[in-house]
Amino acid sequence: MMITTTAHPLSERSGDALVYFVRERNGKISSCPDRTLNILIKRAQAAGDFSAKTGETLISYPLVQTNSTTPAATTTVRIMVVGLGSDPIDEELLRTVGGNTAQALVKTRATRPGLILPTGLRRSEENLSRHLVEGLILGDYRFHKYQKAQEDDEEKGRGLETIQIHGRDLPGIKKGIRTGLVFAHATCQARDMANEPGNLWTPDQFEEEGRRVAEKYNLTCEVLDRPQMEEMGMGGLLGVSRGSSQPPKLVSLTYRSGKKVPTLLLVGKGLTFDSGGISIKPGEGMADMKYDMCGGAAVLAAMQAIGELQPETLDVVGMIPASENLPGPDALKPGDIITQYNGTTVEVANTDAEGRLILADALAYGIKTYQPDYVIDIATLTGAAIIGLGHHTTALLGNDDTLAEKILKISERCGEPCWRLPLGKEYRKQLKSKVADLKNIGGRPGGTITAACFLEEFVGKTPWVHLDIAGTAWNYTKKSYIPEGPSGVGVRTIIELIRTWAT
């Protein structure tokens, strides 16, 4: 998709759609620059067909008036009016409206719309363009890579090809567009990775994509393979992958700002398919377990965005422990004992609690190797997170109040809200084993918390936050800019955290 800007008169534009945005206040709809269109809006409102609710659309097909210089004389095929509602204008509302606009345009098969930024909203055109663009691109997302195109299939339509944004502050609009594109493209990249089937997206693909991103954005990429893991004693990654013919990989991408700044370590769970191993999952819903690598996808996509943004206030290391969990002849068995990278022994009471085992190795190795000042891990870790918070909110746990509060505020602003759960020695007791240092599960009570307690054993005193996205990585709350299937959750929150770190 190409996005351009212009301050030229609207009558000079010839595209296949022209989009205006209007507000509703106390039953009245704000005016737009086109007088003829204002009359149409009033008639539609009187008929009860349009009230400018958030995301509501009204479409007209104007007559071409070649002898007029008014906006109504545009040669645009259709004019669309999109409601902004009456709620306070914030980032989430703009993203939602952007998503609604994209979906409405696609239904009309418009591919080259022009957008007229609304005025009088007490928001800069940079801010408006950034979040509308985010919503437009995320709302226009589609994944039909493995399907034949059908001309009459609306869902597989061409989508938006070019967008022209009309406003006054062109430098500000361009800056907003650039930022919105980085956030949206990274999120779509995470969605693309997650949508790939398990037979085509394996640990090798995480390595391949990691090397591609590193080369394109001048990052450093390091990959540990099975022999290196054996030499280092990474019992978690080695153990989980034993039932699969696919060897595990630990993919690390490093961004250096060249300045004396803190280092943030990102770790994303990259379980490319999770059958549960010997503790096998029920058949119903198992196909969704190709999404168990959404945390790894989020980290890799965020590193792509970091490469584009080149932040100066943080160095960032992104790490993806990648593996499959299958019930092969050499698979881990319930009751087996493994030794993690830091020497901790773990009784594997349930082989379907495998994500924490590969994350533990990555966390311990990453902290020892890179000496980060802060750590964030993101993982589809526990079904208990879905039971506790549904598909609407990400579970957040951590050992550092300042980092946790920062992420909570930013996630809310990004439309990816988190809810903090407690940690404590009471929960840690549930992981006590009679034969090893730890068990990998603590029973059903507080399952999300005990999983985080397990991870906490491998971060020491480093400020750390854990994001459990089991309920939000797919089947997320329905929004105009979030499709069915993988949502790409966490990507925008991580990018915004890094982008605004100094503030």
CA-CA distances (angstroms) from residue 42 to 47, 52, 56, 152, 311? 9, 11, 15, 34, 48
CA angle 386–95–39, rounded 5-degree value: 135
461 is catalytic: no
CA 268, 351, 404, 266: dihedral to nearest 10 degrees?
Answer: -20
Pairing mode, strands 24-25 and 162-166:
unpaired
According to DSSP, residue 256 is labeled -
Report the Cα–Cα distance between both ends of the chain, in Å, rounded. Answer: 31
Whether residue 300 contacts residue 213, with contact meaning beta carbons closer than 8 Å, is answered with yes
The one catalytic residue in 281, 406, 413, 428 is 281
**Cα–Cα distance, 421 to 91 (Å, whole number):** 26
Residues in the chain: 503
Task: Using alpha carbons, select from 310, 148, 294 the residue that is nearest to residue 217.
Answer: 310
Residues forming a β-bridge with 325: 274
CA-CA distances (angstroms) from residue 59 to 40, 75, 130, 237? 10, 15, 24, 55
The one catalytic residue in 13, 112, 242, 356 is 356
What are the backbone dihedrals phi and psi of residue 422, each rounded to the nearest 5 degrees, phi first?
-80, 160
Whether residue 207 contacts residue 251, with contact meaning beta carbons closer than 8 Å, is answered with yes
439 is catalytic: no
Active site residues: 281, 356
